């Protein structure tokens, strides 16, 4: 078992704050998690006072547990100092080198879960009038971010401090499928279950579901195992299923690829090109799409040249996701299920909806 990046940052931050308060350094920081009665112990490497005791710096290393993970051994620095923030704000969180922000110079990209971990573990240490400033630095963050989809969501200059849970879940590993299946079984067995679910692939989707008030129905993180989970949902009696995802992921479903990890299959530009042919776009537009380096580049270039065609194409994509997903489930199960698709863009805005997705979205927001 491993811990997500927000857990390690909270532990390093706690080491920095306790040092700033004058306590001796502890190699293992007790950390309170929302779903546990007793604290866990998280290792931190070092902490020291700076600038004659007016600041403290703590350092730790991320350990996400077994399996492939970009954050393995990621060095984390947290510098703590007292803040002159407005009275109602006890925490001033600053993005240092290697930490992603929403646009250059924008606010730090941090999930609600990560903020809650900081509040739960730091606020009780402070007197009511004390306000603390934390600067998080990830020395390798900028380089690692280039290997993630952060930029696709408008996060620049480093890694986003995202995550909605403490324990690492492997989106492509069989264990992730088993966890999602168990979560599905529990959701369907609940007395509150009314036949509707929302599927998201990753943490961005789950966060957007919460921010967009799409969590009235149970939200299940599928990882990349969409195919088996779609069938399992139908078998379990789910009658309405909303697929909420980044267009760069859900486009694979439109191409008939139902395990979405990039190690197994891609085909996104090929799928986009085929949809452009079906939409009778001019040949020069089709060639433009086929020659793009990424889905984002294809969309940006098409919007610049022909915004109407771009809107038509992405609407066709959302419809194709619904159609292919329904056909996939029908191959294995005859149970009736309405599958709707809602796609969000790199700015984390809900942009494209299939016909069924539009109806399910309207229902879930009422």
Q: Is there a contact between 321 and 329 (Cβ–Cβ < 8 Å)?
A: no
Q: State the Cα–Cα distance between residues 252 and 264, nearest whole angstrom.
A: 11
Domain ends where: 102, 133, 159? 159
pLDDT tops 70 at residue 365: no
Tell me the pLDDT band of 87, cut-offs 50, 70 and 90. low
Q: State the Cα–Cα distance between residues 130 and 358, nearest whole angstrom.
A: 47
72 and 208 housed in the same domain: no
Domain ends where: 159, 185, 207? 159
Percent of the residues in the chain that have a pLDDT greater than 90, as a whole number: 53
State the pLDDT at residue 64: 86
State the pLDDT at residue 67: 63
Q: State the Cα–Cα distance between residues 218 and 354, nearest whole angstrom.
A: 20
3-state secondary structure of 189: helix
Percent of the residues in the chain that have a pLDDT greater than 70, as a whole number: 93
| Between residues 258 and 174, the one the model is more confident about | 258
State the pLDDT at residue 323: 96
316 and 247 housed in the same domain: yes
- Whether 293 is covered by a domain: the verdict is yes
State the pLDDT at residue 208: 86
Q: Is there a contact between 248 and 256 (Cβ–Cβ < 8 Å)?
A: no
Tell me the pLDDT band of 169, cut-offs 50, 70 and 90. low
Among 242, 254, 269, which residue's Cα sits nearest to residue 325?
254
- Whether 166 is covered by a domain: the verdict is no
Q: Which two tokens stand for residue 95?
A: 């993005």
State the pLDDT at residue 257: 84
227 and 351 housed in the same domain: yes
- Whether 168 is covered by a domain: the verdict is no
Number of Cβ within 10 Å of residue 264's Cβ equals 11
- Whether 269 is covered by a domain: the verdict is yes
pLDDT tops 90 at residue 274: yes
145 and 264 housed in the same domain: no
Dump pLDDT digits (tens) for 16-48.
999 999 999 999 999 999 888 899 999 999 999
139 and 194 housed in the same domain: no
Give the chain's length: 366
- Whether 267 is covered by a domain: the verdict is yes
State the pLDDT at residue 105: 74
Contacts 24+ apart (CB under 8 A), 268-274: 268/295, 269/294, 269/295, 269/298, 272/298, 272/313, 272/317
204 and 97 housed in the same domain: no
181 and 289 housed in the same domain: yes
98 conformational bin, left if phi > 0, alpha if psi -120 to 50, beta if neither: left
Tell me the pLDDT band of 174, cut-offs 50, 70 and 90. low
State the pLDDT at residue 178: 84
State the pLDDT at residue 51: 94
341 and 212 housed in the same domain: yes
Q: State the Cα–Cα distance between residues 28 and 12, nearest whole angstrom.
A: 10
Min mean pLDDT across 61-65, 69-73, 98-102, 338-342 is at: 69-73
Average pLDDT of every residue of the chain: 88
pLDDT tops 60 at residue 68: no
- Tell me, yes or no, if the pTM score tops 0.85: no
State the pLDDT at residue 264: 61
Among 150, 122, 30, 13, which residue's Cα sits nearest to residue 76?
13
258 and 302 housed in the same domain: yes
Burial, 91: exposed, middle or buried (Cβ in 10 Å; 0-12, 13-18, 19+)? middle
Q: State the Cα–Cα distance between residues 257 and 240, nearest whole angstrom.
A: 21
The CATH number for 123's domain is 3.30.2110.10
- Whether 359 is covered by a domain: the verdict is yes
Tokens 């007395």 locate to 191
Question: How many Å from the N-terminal Cα to the C-terminal Cα in the chain?
Answer: 39
Mean pLDDT across 86-106 = 85
Task: Find the domain containing 283 and state its range.
Answer: 174-365
Dump pLDDT digits (tens) for 198-229.
999 887 888 888 888 877 789 998 888 889 99
143 and 50 housed in the same domain: yes
- Whether 34 is covered by a domain: the verdict is yes
- Whether 164 is covered by a domain: the verdict is no
Dump pLDDT digits (tens) for 127-153.
888 899 999 999 999 988 877 767 766
pLDDT tops 70 at residue 341: yes
341 and 285 housed in the same domain: yes
247 and 206 housed in the same domain: yes
The domain total for the chain is: 2
pLDDT tops 60 at residue 262: no
Domain ends where: 103, 127, 159? 159
């Amino acid at each position: 078992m491993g811990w997500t990046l927000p857990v390690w940052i909270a532990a390093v931050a706690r080491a920095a704050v306790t040092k700033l308060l004058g306590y001796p350094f502890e190699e293992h920081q007790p950390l309170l998690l929302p779903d546990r009665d007793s604290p866990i112990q998280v290792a931190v490497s070092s902490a020291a006072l700076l600038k004659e005791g007016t600041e403290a710096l703590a350092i730790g290393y991320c350990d996400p547990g077994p399996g492939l993970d970009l954050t393995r051994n990621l060095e984390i620095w947290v510098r703590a100092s007292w803040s002159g923030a407005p009275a109602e704000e006890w925490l001033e969180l600053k993005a240092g080198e290697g930490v992603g922000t929403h646009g250059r110079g924008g606010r730090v990209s941090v999930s609600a879960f990560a903020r809650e971990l900081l509040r739960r573990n730091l606020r009780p240490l402070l007197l009511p009038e004390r306000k603390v400033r934390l600067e998080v630095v990830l020395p390798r963050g900028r380089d690692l971010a280039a290997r993630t989809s952060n930029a696709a969501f408008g996060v620049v200059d480093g890694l986003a401090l995202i995550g909605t849970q403490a324990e690492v879940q492997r989106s492509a590993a069989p264990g992730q499928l088993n966890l999602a299946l168990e979560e599905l079984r529990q959701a369907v067995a609940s007395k509150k279950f009314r036949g509707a679910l929302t599927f998201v692939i990753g943490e961005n989707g789950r966060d957007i579901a919460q921010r967009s008030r799409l969590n009235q129905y149970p939200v299940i993180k599928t990882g990349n195992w969409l195919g088996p989970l779609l069938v399992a949902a139908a078998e379990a009696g789910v009658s309405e299923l909303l697929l909420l995802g980044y267009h760069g992921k859900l486009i694979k479903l439109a191409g008939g690829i139902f395990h979405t990890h990039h190690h197994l299959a891609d085909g996104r530009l090929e799928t986009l090109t085929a949809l452009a042919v079906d939409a009778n776009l001019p040949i020069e537009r089709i060639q433009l799409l086929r020659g793009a380096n990424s889905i984002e580049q294809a969309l940006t270039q098409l919007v610049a040249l022909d915004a109407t065609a771009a809107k038509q194409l992405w609407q066709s994509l959302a419809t194709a996701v619904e159609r292919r997903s329904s056909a996939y489930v029908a191959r294995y199960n005859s149970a009736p299920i309405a599958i709707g698709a809602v796609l969000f863009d790199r700015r984390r805005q809900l942009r494209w909806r299939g016909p069924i997705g539009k109806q399910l979205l309207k229902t879930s927001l009422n």
